[in-house]
Each structure stands twice: as structure tokens, then as C-alpha cells.
Structure 1
Amino acid sequence: MTSQTAPPRRPFHVDRGVSLHAWLRHMRDHEPVYFDTTMNSWRVLRHADAVQVFSDWQVFSNDMHRVMPAQEFKDGNLSALDPPEHRSLRGLLSQGFTPRMLAPFAGRIESLVVEILEELEEQGEFDLAAGLAYQLPLNVISELLGVDRDGREVLRRCSDAQLTLSTDDPTDDAFIQNREKAMREILDYLRDHARERRTRPRDDMISRLVHAEMDGRRLTETEIVNFSVLLLLAGHLTTMGLLGSMVACLDEHPETLAEIRADRSLLGNTVEEVLRYLPPVPDAGRVTNQEVTLGGATIPADQFVLISLTSANWDERAYPDPSRFDIHRTPNPQLAFTHGIHVCLGAHLARLEGKVALDVLLNRYRTWEVTGVDWYENNTICAPRRLTVAVQRHT
């Protein structure tokens, strides 16, 4: 089944998602799983089907190299591994990203938020997207890994290059090669750091990876470097989208903002609803290990499957009135971090950054008003590119 007669998709940035969500609702009702000829992939749009895909790694594999042959970024890349390799590596890496391990870092995140805002305030009206949303996760993940300020500039260039890349076909060799070319500088930089940590370890994630053992062996240099760059890029770009979208959503819903000001116990609920309402990464990919029937469609083996997180998070079958921004949704099984064994390793860190940043903004500013907003004009990230705000400090 194909969608040749379906209404055309329009990117989110064209009209703030109005046309996109209307098209997605039509497709969820009529062709919830279909082959998209423009993207050379099978698209999955309903929440329940998305959960099934994420839950069944034996059928829907994360090792997408069979359909993306130009990709070299695999060893140590959790997003490209299946069990048993995935289980062993994730077990080793996840120890540093539990809520208990991250809780002491909340104070440092708060200090970073204040430092960034103090610099921005010197400009009067300022761009919160290019400032706080971009800089905070960059600095947080860099400090956890042990990347110095020079390295942050390397990461900044890598992130900027990633943000300019977009494609209608995620399996296209040229797109994959351009993406890996954009990562080459940060890969080389982190390789030098990993080698240095072997003889001069520090109290950081790279040092722990260098000296850790998995199944009786040390991680290879390539595994360490690839995991580090994955963490840097995923931890930076995803949280950047969350922070910018959070401020934009609350500006559009002043009654919700007033409610949160009065009750800070709602901070966590707010972060979850922003992740549902505007998932920073619109899609997640898998590849079929065997023929499978899903949502009324039969997908052959060795096919690229693209799960729309944007669509699944607005599925009326999972969320009453999904177009309503509602921080009181219970339950709220949002899929911004996906689901199952491959759920985002940095999800706890992203949530912590979101809650701490929002708390600081509320403590610092009596009011804020968004005076201008532009969204990234590609289909790989949903985030404000520019978010200018006028603020009034508490006296």
C-alpha cells in the first residue's frame, strides 16, 4: 500500500505544524503503516504500532547497516546495536546516567543556567534558543565527558553542521557520507582524548570508559570514541529542542505558566508534556529482520522502517484531545525518547536539565514574552532556531 493519493506533507516549520498534523491524522486513520516512496522507507504512524516496533528488537533491528551501507559509525554506537552486544555495552554505560547518579549534578546545571542568562541579559532582549537552549546541553554533556572549552568549539561546529543536513531519503548514501564527514573533526578530537586518558585518567566519562571492562574485555578506542560522540550529539541536539520548545509552549499557554509558577511540583509534568507535544527528534529508524505484518501492511525483510514520533505522540487512540497542551495528562506515555531496550540513555539527564532550567527561569524572571520565533527548516529536528524574548527580572 502506498500514499500516492494522500495529502502532501508539509514540514513543521512551514505553519507551526498545522498542515503536518492534519496530514498525519488523515494517514493514521487511513494508512497507519505505508511505504513512502519519497523516503524509500515504511512509515509507522500510530502509537500502539510504534510501541510494538520499539518493543520487538528481534523483528525490528537497530542495526541499520544493511539498508545504509555507507554508514561507518557503528562500533560503540548504542543506536546501531542489538543484543547481546547492546545489552552488555548499555549496562556498562548506563551506570553514569541513572537519576541517583545525576542528582548531585543538578546544582552544577543550575549554575550553568545562571551563568548563561547573566551573559544574555547584557543584550536586553535576547535569543533564548541560540543562548540557553543551545549552550546549556553543550556545556553539561561536555563537562560530564571531560571535554574542555577548545573541544566545545569543535562540538559546536559539528552540531551546526548536523543541523544543516536534511534529506527526504535517510538511506541515501550521499546524505550518510555528508553526515559522517561533518562528524570527522569531533571523532578525531575525542580519539586524542581517549588516548590521553589511558595514561592520565581524570574524573570524567571518557576516563571511565577507557578503564572499564565489558564481558572481561576493555572497550576499543573506536567504541569509546563513537559512544562519546553519540552522547555529545544526542545529548546536545535533543535537549536543545526540549528547552527551546518548552519556553515557546509556555509563552503560548500563559495559564499553564501561571499554574507552574504557583506549584513547582508540576515541573516534571511540564517537561513530559512538551516532549509529547513537540518531540525534538521527529522520527526513529529500524530495519526488519524478517517479513512482518503491522498496522494492516506486510513489510518484507531488510526494509527500512521510520517511526514518526511526532505522529505517535498525537495519536488520538493514546491521548484524548492530543492537540491540547495539558500538563495534567495521566498517563502520558510519550515516545520522544522511544521505548524498550533502546530508550534514550540520556533521557534522565535531558529531563533534569529541562526541570532545572525552567525552575531557574521562573525564579529569575517575573515575566517573559517571546517576541520572535523561527523553527529549524529541516525534517531531522523540531526546535526553535531563533527564540527572542523580552524579560522582566524579579525585584
Structure 2
Amino acid sequence: MFVRSHALADEVLTTHDVFSSDEIRYSASEVPHRDNPVLHSMSAMDPPRHHELRRMVSRAFTPRTVDALTPAIEACADRLIDRLTPASDFVTGFAYPLPISTLAALLGVSDARQADFVRWTETITSFFGQPEARPAFLTAVAELREYLHTVPASEGIVAGLRESGLTADEIVSLAGLLLINGHETTKTLLVNMVLCLAENPAALAAVRADPDLVSSTIEEVLRVRPSVGGTDRFTTRADALGGESFAAGQRVIVSIAAANRDPAVFVDPNTFDVRRSPNPHLSFGHGIHFCLGAHLARRQAVVALRALLARLPGAWAIEDVVTRDSPVGTDVLALRLVWSAARDSRVHT
């Protein structure tokens, strides 16, 4: 079953007793990627265990925690822009390392293990059950599990999770969830941000003229180009949705991209409007599985956009885009962000 309307998408996302996130338990089909930590994390759980884990983990994503991380995010963004040129790959030069650095700080990953953290991230986030990728995936999960055992008691959120009584496997599953939902989606948000503004020069000029539009610009990027185009649920019993019957164990695919452009909810849905308000997009989900890291993702995007606007003047253009289709959409693997010749004196050329 495929859901496109905003109303039905919202119903599926908020009715967890009928539309479960627990694929392993409810899917009537084989689950080839059942070893993926994400399928054993709270994003794939129903209450009551979901609520128990979320209460434990939510303390790591409080506004106070995000505020404490913000200076490091700002410093990292400036360092990355220092090395950015119109010939650089924006993905590997900026959009990829900024959320990696943020998550490493959040998890308490030492500087000496950053390279390993990047390798684990790439391996775990790219695994979708392919037999040929399974050995590397299992190795990465084992190494991540071993490393998380060594995180000092005073660093990152891992120590707090251990003190909360989570098992080693539950902590690894949470880390896997953070790697995928916290890194991949934020990287994609940063890429989509520059794509939207390069494609809409008037919008870029507007947000340059009025910095108060930065936050609403990020929300419109999330609506027009959601980091994840869709999500799925699994029916716990036979019922009906929007007049269409379904059986127990059926996969329901929710198109976030379509729901975010539903003309019944959004005026001129295909127009990129940085002043759009209200903007009830579903890009962070809804209901009990609303993205726990939404506040942190938004903060990273706001910091990044402010820094890019300050340091990369004039109109923006996108060149040499390289993409790859994946099970959850189209990934942008590389692109060059080109701006006007005038450069901030702090940028090294």
C-alpha cells in the first residue's frame, strides 16, 4: 500500500497500534537486513519499550545539550569553509564532515578514533541487506560495539546510557540509529539546502537581505526536498485506510515527499517559499517516532546556512552533480558549489 496524501500519511505515522515500526515482528515478508542495528533500535519498536528507551535517550537531545554543542558546530563550519573552493566537492568538503564531527562529539568519540568512526558510519549506513556487503557490515558493528565499551565515563552520551541500564547491544543499536538518522539525513539536508538556494536565486537574495528568514528557509528545504523521501510501517491487523482494505503484516509505504506537496495543505506546493508559514511538513515524522534529533539537525543547518551566507557571497550555482539511486531515494554523492569571485578574506585559496 502506498500513501501520498498528508492526511493519510499523518494517520499512518500517528496510529502506531495499527501501523507498527517493528518490521521484524510484523512483516509478512522475509527481512534480509534484519541484522541492521536500526531494526533493533527504538525507531523500530512499539510501546512500552519504545517509550522506556526514548525517555533514557531524550536527555542527550535537550535544548541545553544542543546549545552546548553549538560553538563546536560553528567552529567546525568555519574550518570547513576555510578549505572550501569552487573546485571542491561540497559533499565531502562540508556536508559530510559537519554532522560527523557533531555526532562524534555527542557520542564521545576521541579525535584519535575519528577515522574509524567515519569508516563505521559509511559501512553501517550503506548496508541494506546485500549479501556481498554483510561481512564488512558485521565487522563494523562488532568494532563499534567494542569501541563503545571503552568510551570514558565522563565523555559523550554513551556513559549516561550505560548508567541508565541499557545493554551493550541496545547502546550499539542506538549508535547505529544515530549514525543513519543523525548523520545521513543531516548531510542530505545540507546538500539539499544549497541545491534549493542555487535553484532559486530570488530566495537566496531574500534570505541574504533578511537573516531572520534562515530558520523558515531550512523548514522549506525540509518540505521541498525531505532528507528521506519516504518511510514504511507494517500492519498489525487487517483494517482499512482511506477506503482501501489491507491485511495483517502488509507493508505501508508513506511518501513524505508527496505528503509535503499536498495541495490540500500547502498553497502553491511546488513553489519554494522561504516565508512559508505555517509549514506542517512531515520530514521529521510525526507521532511517537518524531525524530529525536530534529532540534540538533535544525541547529546544524541554521549554523551552516548562516556561515555559508556570510562567507560565500553573491549568487550560487551547482555543477558536476553525481547521484546514485538507493532503496530510500536518490543520494547526491558529489557536487560543486560555485559562488561569485569576491571571497571573504578569511577563506584560504
Fold match by TM threshold 0.5:
yes
Distance 1:210 1:366 in 2: 46
Matched-pair contact (CA < 8 Å) for 1:240–1:383? no
Distance apart, 1:183 and its partner CA: 3.4
TM-score scaled by length of structure 2: 0.90
Q: 1:393 aligns with which of 327, 343, 347?
A: 343
Identity between Structure 1 and Structure 2 (%): 35
Q: 2:100 aligns with which of 124, 133, 138?
A: 138
Q: 1:360 aligns with which of 300, 307, 314?
A: 307
Distance 2:138 2:258 in 1: 33
Distance 2:53 2:303 in 1: 29
Which amino acid is 1:332 matched to? N
Kindly report which structure 2 residues correspond to 1:245-256, keeping only aligned pairs within 5 A, or say none: 245-256=192-203
Deviations 1:65-108 (A, max 9, x none): 03254413368601111110000110110111122321121111
TM-score scaled by length of structure 1: 0.80
Kindly report which structure 2 residues correspond to 1:230-379, keeping only aligned pairs within 5 A, or say none: 230-367=177-314, 368-379=316-327
Distance 2:31 2:112 in 1: 33
Distance apart, 1:207 and its partner CA: 1.3
Matched-pair contact (CA < 8 Å) for 1:280–1:381? no
Instruction: Please state whether the residue corresponding to 1:140 is helix, strand or coil.
Output: helix
Instruction: Determine the structure 2 residue equivalent to 1:111.
Output: 75
Which amino acid is 1:233 matched to? I
Matched-pair contact (CA < 8 Å) for 1:281–1:382? no
Instruction: Determine the structure 2 residue equivalent to 1:209.
Output: 161
Deviations 1:215-235 (A, max 9, x none): xxx111100111012112211
Distance 1:393 1:319 in 2: 38
Distance 1:326 1:79 in 2: 31
Instruction: Determine the structure 1 residue equivalent to 2:328.
Output: 380
Distance 2:134 2:163 in 1: 27
Matched-pair contact (CA < 8 Å) for 1:282–1:309? yes
Instruction: Please state whether the residue corresponding to 1:120 is helix, strand or coil.
Output: coil
Distance 2:126 2:293 in 1: 23
User: Aligned in 2, Cα 1:85/1:75: closer, same or farther, shift over 3 Å?
Assistant: farther
Which amino acid is 1:101 matched to? T
Which amino acid is 2:344 matched to? H
Q: 1:99 aligns with which of 59, 63, 67?
A: 63
Distance apart, 1:362 and its partner CA: 0.9
Which amino acid is 2:326 matched to? N
Matched-pair contact (CA < 8 Å) for 2:223–2:281? yes
Distance 1:201 1:76 in 2: 25
Which ranges in structure 2 are unaligned for 5 or more consecutive residues?
none
Q: 2:149 aligns with which of 195, 200, 223?
A: 195
User: Aligned in 2, Cα 1:153/1:364: closer, same or farther, shift over 3 Å?
Assistant: same
Distance 1:223 1:334 in 2: 30
Deviations 1:252-286 (A, max 9, x none): 11111111111111111011110110111111111
Distance 2:38 2:312 in 1: 44
Distance apart, 1:193 and its partner CA: 2.5
User: Aligned in 2, Cα 1:148/1:159: closer, same or farther, shift over 3 Å?
Assistant: same
Instruction: Please state whether the residue corresponding to 1:326 is helix, strand or coil.
Output: coil
Instruction: Determine the structure 1 residue equivalent to 2:46.
Output: 82
Instruction: Please state whether the residue corresponding to 1:374 is helix, strand or coil.
Output: strand
Deviations 1:303-359 (A, max 9, x none): 111111111111112212211111122211111111111011111111010000000
Which ranges in structure 1 are unaligned for 5 or more consecutive residues?
1-41, 167-173, 213-217
Size of the aligned set, in residue pairs, is 337
Deviates more, 1:356-365 or 1:95-104: 95-104
Deviations 1:107-148 (A, max 9, x none): 110100111122234xx5211122111111111111110123
Deviates more, 1:144-153 or 1:276-285: 144-153
